[in-house]
Structure 1
Amino acid sequence: MKPSTLPSDLVQRFIAITGQSHALTEQADIAPYLVESRGMYHPTSPLVLRPGSVEEVSAILKLATETGTAIVPQGGNTGHVGGGVPRDGSSDVVLSLSRLNRIRDVDPVGNVMVADAGVILADIQKAAEGADRLFPLSLGSEGSCEIGGNLSTNAGGTAVLAYGNMRHLCLGLEVVLPTGEIWDGLRRLKKDNTGYDLRDLFIGAEGTLGIITGAVLKLFPRPLGHEVGFVGLKTVEDALSLFDKASSLCGTALTGFELMPRIGVDFTTRHIPGVRDPLATQHAWYALIDISTSDSAETATRMIEALLNDAIESGLAENAVIAASEQQRRALWHMRESMSPAQKPEGGSIKHDVSVPVSSIPAFMHEADAAVMKAMPGARICSFGHMGDGNIHYNISQPVGADKQAFLDRWRELNAIVHGIVLKYGGSISAEHGIGQLKRDELAEIRPAIEIDLMSRIKRSFDPAGIMNPGKVIGTSQ
């Protein structure tokens, strides 16, 4: 599909802001910015701008508001809901933050870092490590996703159980508003009760209210002890009981508790090079347990050994292994983080990024499994994720031998089934991936009218011209 065009004189006015070398107009050059991770959309754009300063972002948005030009902010473009790409057949201009990639300050005493929005998450982690600190956000895409995108989607990852999501890992923001005004909210305070918390409006807004250009991030002391265990279990109920036991025994030292099904282990060992099953026997379910301690390595070792010995002796766990080295710890986490891409070679996969109260996970999964199998006999359900915070990636692989497109054509139908059960248990249809285009219409259907109206009022107040990432989260005015 060809993009709608922009007037040539307007294109030149935008190019004048960034300079010709940082503006892309040829479709071959623009194409990498239009890749949508799940192939569900076919975005188009006549122009990609790569500003190198906050002032250039400001000038771009000021011109866009004056001329009614739609702007799509983009970080590493690793999202799963079509939130960081333009609309199909549109003239939306992509504004890439990748050149805003400076770490402005690291303060290990104050446990904060100030960084541009375009800094890659892995580089944030390395900078923290260089100051003998920890930035705990960890994602499978951390080598390419950018911190501004992490903030705009309120990313979660594998350490939410102990450290919270991005909303909890940020103290302050710098944001360029659609009018071009720059809000300097880069405050380093843990306590600040002076009026509305504007920061929280932009975190999770997916670029619909303004563009995050900088952030104050929380750092933490690096753990002295770190242990990872891999446990074989008979049922999801046993996994929940093990989580309860781990929480009681380890307290805040429990930094991760991941749930995985046998089919997910089969997929990863079959399709991901170097991944092997850590246990000699097969089990219906598995838990990956991560423990980090601040006082000593010995404390972490004692904790995980006591936990797993008790679980085995009581019959709660069928088998278990403790990683013997950092390499083995990484290998266990690699298996978990590879579970989603390992589904791709198995054919079509219908995804659900949902959360329910932790205590409701077994009931939700049993009910959802039964409903999905009734609707699609032979479907292969691969449900895994962050059991410790209730976030389950409830993914459905196509039946063996089924037609991939015919299967994917039922995406909305199966979404409705699974999401209906999620809502029954008081859960969320988007735990950490955001709303984007994929869930925009569904959000309007399931949220109370007053919530949608309030969000719409906020959107109109910040972006009266409707230029900021239109068509995402709460609809479009263009």
Structure 2
Amino acid sequence: MDGFDSVTLDRFVEIVGPNHALRDPVDVMPFLTEPRGLWSDGTTPVVLRPGTVDEVSRILKLATETRTAIVPQSGNTGLVGGQTPDRSGRQIVLSLSRLNRIREIDTLSNTVTAEAGVILETLQQTADGADRLFPLSLGSQGSCQVGGNLSSNAGGTGVLAYGNMRELCLGVEVVLPTGEVLDDLRKLKKDNTGYDLKNLFVGAEGTLGVITAAVLKLFPKPKGQEVAWVGVESPSAALNLFTLATDRAGTGLTAFELVADIAMDFSARHIPGVVRPIEGWPWYVLVEISSGRSAEDARDLIEHILSDGLEAGCAGDAVIAASLAQASVFWRLRESLSESQRPEGASIKHDISVPVASIPAFIEEAGRAVATVSADARVVCFGHMGDGNLHYNVSQPAGADPATFLKLYRPMNKAVHDIVRAYGGSISAEHGIGRLKREELLDTAPPLAIDLMRRVKAAFDPAGIMNPGKVI
């Protein structure tokens, strides 16, 4: 690679061996292109694929010594450009995919110790085989990996009941930029011995060090689980139904997803095998009830919630899944919503959160703001209403030119994010900052907060080698 010291490059390759150092452009390409295609022009002289923690340690030690930038990457499913290199050709991609062992399942402590390259779906299936539940659930779970989930503090559909990845993590093993290894793989649910170091790395997007393994929480599998699609007149009605469901079910309410009718239409139109369970409503919610007691208890609870919601006027038509297979079909519809936007053309996406009580007002105000930027744009709103996280996506007007619409990315972001901030919300609920939102974070976060983040970055990574140009 032009401008890259070949002797230094050979030293990096020697650590992992030539078979695990990808240099051919065909082999390298999958590591350079992220899912949205917003950053597909990056280059790297090599993709290193270490197979041990010691190899990761040696790579980072050498990187600090030679001032070589390292871009950690797990499943490459991130949506904000945090996992790909820039165009300089001087950033090495560090793939964690070979660190893919589940080191231990402890059913007495209800923990699993997994390496960074373990695919999320593999972790879920392994937990299920031990009669346990690992509750993180994402549309990309067949390819995303634990290291990326931790580095982005992934959320998904189970946050309402189980929390995000930070809350699911008890301990981490991290390789620092110096090559030192922090072994903090503890299973403790209570530990007040000084600063909570693990939470500096969870959500840091690989800018402070490389997470190589983690101790994660497991849960008893529900004895009963029921899923229903419900038609509602408005987000306000959905909020009332959520309040009712929370009062009736408590922690048994394990999902409450809000979906606009247009999002349902897109999925039914473009995703093979997806059908709408019900029609005729402007908004829908997917409700999941889990019971630790019995299947009968879960069924009784969801029926009472829907009956009470109908009586209160906050729920309309509803369909309860008649089997596990149909429940999977219901969830497939929910998980396909992002994918179904692509055939409709360009989309400007917003991964935001506001207080749950503010969701109806936010949706109303944001709709007006979108119209000031593009009068005929189509708002495709859906998300995790139960925890305040909405994917407030804006699809191009039907038949419009995608490139022309995408020129509105910044003004559209500003219009929506101004309202988010007015409600005390966040411009990044679960996807992270990466490159996509870095400048906006720097422009809008409190100056002292940015200064403190930079002090932390300088303390952990004084050479500035860890994922430069991302987050801060």
TM-score (structure 2 length as normaliser): 0.99
**Where do 1:195-274 residues align within 5 Å?**
195-274=194-273
Q: Aligned-pair distance for 1:11?
A: 1.1
Give the counterpart of 1:40 among 26, 38, 41. 38
**CA shift for structure 1 position 147:** 0.4
Instruction: List aligned pairs for 1:389-404, cutoff 5 A.
Output: 389-404=387-402
Deviation at 1:316, TM superposition (A): 1.8
SS at match of 2:399: coil
RMSD: 0.8
CA drift of 1:295 comes to 0.8
1:78 aligns to what SS in structure 2?
Answer: coil
- Letter of the 1:35 counterpart: T
Residue 61 of structure 1: aligned partner = 60
Hey, what does 1:52 align to over in structure 2?
Answer: 51
By how many angstroms is 1:88 displaced?
2.6
Inter-partner Cα distance in structure 1 for 2:368 and 2:181: 51
Matched residues in 1 for 2:23 and 2:312: separation?
A: 65
Q: Find the aligned partners of 1:264 and 1:123 in 2 and give their Cα distance.
A: 29
In the alignment, the residues of structure 1 paired with residue 3 and residue 338 of structure 2 have an alpha-carbon distance, to the nearest angstrom, of 37
Partner of 2:152: 153
Shift of 1:347: 0.4
Inter-partner Cα distance in structure 2 for 1:226 and 1:120: 25
Q: Which residue does the alignment assign to 1:6?
A: 4
Question: Any residues of structure 2 matched to 1:30-109 within 5 Å, and which?
Answer: 30-41=28-39, 42-109=41-108
Q: Is the Cα–Cα contact under 8 Å of residues 27 and 46 in structure 1 kept in the other structure?
A: no
Q: Aligned partner of 1:305: which letter?
A: E
Correspondence for 2:447 among 446, 449, 456: 449
Equivalent residue of 1:394, what SS?
strand
Q: Is the 8 A contact 1:257 1:287 kept in 2?
A: yes
Aligned-residue offset at 1:6: 1.7
2-structure distance, mates of 1:343, 1:283 = 20
Q: Paired residues, what number? A: 471
1:209 counterpart SS class: coil
Q: Is the 8 A contact 1:383 1:393 kept in 2?
A: yes
Partner in structure 2 of residue 305 of structure 1? 303
Give the residue type in structure 1 aligned to 2:404.
A
Output aligned runs, 1:112-123, within 5 Å: 112-123=111-122
Moved more, 373-382 or 172-181: 373-382
Q: Which amino acid aligns with 2:380?
A: C
Question: Matched residues in 2 for 1:450 and 1:179: separation?
Answer: 27
Q: Alpha-carbon deviation of 1:5?
A: 4.1
Residues of 1 paired with 2:3 and 2:429: CA distance?
36
**CA displacement, residues 247-276 of structure 1 (integer Å, 9 cap, x when unaligned):** 000000000000000000100000000111
- Structure 1 distance, partners of 2:165, 2:16, is 30
Cα distance between partner residues in 2 of 1:471 and 1:393: 25
CA shift digits 1:10-60 (9 cap, x unpaired): 111001100000001121111010111111112211110000000000000
Q: CA deviation at 1:315?
A: 2.4
What displacement does 1:90 show?
3.4
Give the letter aligned to residue 439 of structure 2.
Answer: D
Question: Counterpart in 2 of 1:462?
Answer: 460
* Secondary structure of residue in 1 paired with 2:71: strand
Relative distance call for 1:4 and 1:448 in structure 2 (3 A) is farther
Provide the residue aligned with 1:377 in structure 2.
375
CA offsets 1:447-472 (integer angstroms, 9 cap, x no match): 11100000000000000000000000
Counting only pairs closer than 5 Å after superposition, residues 127-146 of structure 1 correspond to structure 2 as 127-146=126-145
Q: Distance in 2 between matches of 1:19 and 1:392?
A: 44
Alignment of 1:336-415 (within 5 A): 336-415=334-413
What is aligned with 1:424?
A: 422
Secondary structure of the corresponding residue to residue 172 of structure 1: strand
Provide the C-alpha distance between the structure 1 equivalents of 2:180 and 2:210, rounded to a whole number of angstroms: 11
Structure 2 SS opposite 1:206: coil
Look up the equivalent residue of 2:431 and give its one-letter code: H
Q: CA deviation at 1:75?
A: 0.2
Secondary structure in 1 aligned to 2:357?
helix
Measured in 2, the distance between the counterparts of 1:56 and 1:457 equals 28
Q: Give unpaired runs (5+ residues) of structure 1.
A: none
Q: Note the 1:316-331 alignment, pairs <5 A.
A: 316-331=314-329
Distance 2:335 2:113 in 1: 28
Match of 2:169 in 1: 170
Query: 1:308 is aligned with what amino acid?
Result: L
Query: Which residue type is aligned with residue 162 of structure 2?
Result: Y
Q: Secondary structure at the match of 2:266?
A: helix
Q: Deviations over 1:158-200 (max 9, x none)?
A: 0000000000101000000000000000011111111111000
1:125 and 1:53 map into 2 onto residues whose CA distance is 23
- Asked if structure 2 preserves the Cα contact closer than 8 Å seen for 1:4 and 1:89, the reply is no
Displacement of 1:375 after TM fit?
1.9
SS of residue in 2 equivalent to 1:180: coil
- 1:188 is paired with a residue of what secondary structure? coil
Q: Determine if the alignment matches structure 1 residue 294 to structure 2 residue 292.
A: yes
Pairwise CA distance, 1:404: 0.6
Once the two structures are superposed, residues 283-332 of structure 1 have per-residue CA deviations (whole angstroms, 9 ceiling, x without a partner) of: 10000001111011111001000011111233222211100001110111
Letter in 1 for 2:232: L
Separation (CA, whole Å) in 2 of partners of 1:15 and 1:90 = 16
Instruction: Write the distance in 1 (CA, Å) between the matches of 2:113 and 2:312.
Output: 48
Q: Secondary structure at the match of 2:195?
A: coil
Cα distance in 1 for residues equivalent to 2:403 and 2:310? 44
1:334-388 Cα deviation digits (max 9, x unpaired): 1111001100000000000000000000000100001111221111000100000
Assess if the C-alpha contact under 8 Å between 2:367 and 2:379 holds in 1.
yes
| Residue type at the aligned position of 1:100 | L
Q: Which moved more, 1:49-58 or 1:124-133?
A: 124-133
Structure 2 distance, partners of 1:102, 1:240, is 42
**2: distance between equivalents of 1:400 and 1:101?**
44
| CA–CA distance in structure 1, aligned partners of residues 121 and 209 of structure 2 | 25
- Give the match's secondary structure for 1:258: strand
Q: Distance in 2 between matches of 1:5 and 1:429?
A: 37
In structure 1, distance between residues paired with 2:264 and 2:110? 38
Paired AA for residue 372 in structure 2: K
1:184 matched to 2:188? The reply is no
Runs (4+) of structure 1 moved beyond 4 Å?
none
Contact residue 255 and residue 291 of structure 1 kept, 8 A: yes
Identity fraction in percent:
61
